[in-house]
Amino acid sequence: MTALEALPTPGSAAYRSLVTRTPVPDEVRVQTQALLLDVQKRGDAALLDLTERFDGVRLQQTAVSTQAMRAALDGLDPGLRGALDVAAANIEAVHGAQRFHEEPVDVVRGVRVWREWRALRRVGLYVPGGRTVYPSSVLMLAIPARLAGCQEIVMCSPPQRDGQIALAVLAAAGLAGVTEVHSVGGAQAIAAMAYGTVSMPRVDKIFGPGNAYVTAAKLAVFGDVAIDMPAGPSEILVLTDGSVPAAWVAADLRAQAEHAADARAILVSTHPAMAAEVRGLVEGELSAQIRVLSAAGMEAAVAFANDFASEHLTLACAEPDRWLTRISSAGSVFLGPYAPAAAGDYATGANHVLPTGGASRAFGALGVDAFGRMMQAQSLDRDGLLRLEPVVEAIAGAEELSAHKESVRVRRSGSAAFPGLDGPRPRSAILNMQPYEWEPPSARIASEAGVPEGDVVLPLAGRVAERHWAAGVERVPRHQLHRAHRRTGGLYRRIAGRDHRRCRRG
């Protein structure tokens, strides 16, 4: 038997390679951009064409009736219906405790500041349905949305080969309180929710997990619409000291790996014999997605866990509560031998919509708070404003914003005679600037460059674009050279044409 693979040394190239994931390959970004542009241009017609192309079924419309939801719920297998009822009740119990309450603060006498909760009006939920179906995801998404008070809860899920959304998914939508359902999946569903079509008005925020194309689409539309988090291919990291049976650990690794071919599972063990046993147990069809590593001690394993920032993290060790205090980056943590991630996927009431690909460094598990936003408020009476006037006057003076100062002074003096502005005014060119666009639509670029839209080569995003910038080379048509650099700011875009020349940055 070959020796166990050791956890790479922190800071080494092997360690960085293990920790750094690319949830969206560059070719997926490019393909996704084309799908988004198609839906933007052609709306519902594009949705129907793309559904036929990717799902193999030609629909007359994407909308699914509320009667179909009710019929699916009524016709559901009693055993599954009972399980969904229990899961829904547990999710509601856990998320019902997440209601917002914050006491107002009396900053000084006569000045009060507070925040109030406001639910998003219209939200979009994406429920995967390619390799398998996920009624559990419907509950995890829709119940917090309903508890938050969202008026319109829109769900998109791909149709099966018969042209219908899976019965269990449709039934879960009826159970959880979804108000609008569309039979459409993939990046095209994200585009419809982000930009809107005739049959599907745009939403305020998009939620839900999906494959690399769905994740790429969510990241691409962010800014046009809000998103919950990057929630792509599933992953689990298990840390063990050998105190949990190898068969249990192997079962947890396999459970997450079975989600999809790009799901991944990692075991870091401080017990070499147990790690070797696990490695033998996971041999088979899922073994390519499972990696078994050895570590010198739990301290090193926990340090790796924080760098890896996994979607699911299992502490299959003695004193898991102690080690939990050392964990800073994980989507959902499972403590002890009797806490398989599958229990959280379905039944504990915790949310299984989690950040992936290292995003748990900045994002957390989905909750009620994600379906709304805080609105800040403040009230001042006359005496309170007088107490703050010297503060406003001093800071406004330093920033040369005399109208700010006058808006306070006029309430004390009663005079409506406003003096001239004494601060610097922006140049007209700055006043006329349009909002900066990272990726202007290819149709507009083609129009401005005077070339066919098909000749516009979309940029490679992220680090690929950074390499182009570092190289200092751009290619643009000669007659558009100066304007292209001025308008795009060197956005790593090449516009095809016969008359090109190279231009170095600077």
Neighbours of 348 (CB within 10 A): 17
Residue of 312, 352, 406, 474 marked catalytic:
312
* Three-state SS sequence of 63-83: EECHHHHHHHHHCCCHHHHHH
- Residue 312: active-site member: yes
Overall size of the chain counted in residues: 506
3-class SS of residue 235? strand
User: What distance in Å separates the CA atoms of residue 431 and residue 104, rounded to the nearest whole number?
Assistant: 38
The encoded tokens of residue 306 equal: 């924080």
Residue of 180, 235, 277, 311 marked catalytic:
311
- Residue 500: active-site member: no
Contact between residue 262 and residue 288 where contact means Cβ atoms under 8 Å apart: no
What DSSP string runs through 39-68?
HHHHTHHHHHHHHHHHHS---S-SEE-HHH
Closest listed residue to residue 63, CA positions, set 125, 151, 128, 155: 155
Contact between residue 270 and residue 243 where contact means Cβ atoms under 8 Å apart: no
Closest listed residue to residue 136, CA positions, set 234, 204, 10: 234
3-class SS of residue 157? strand
Catalytic sites, residue numbers: 311-312
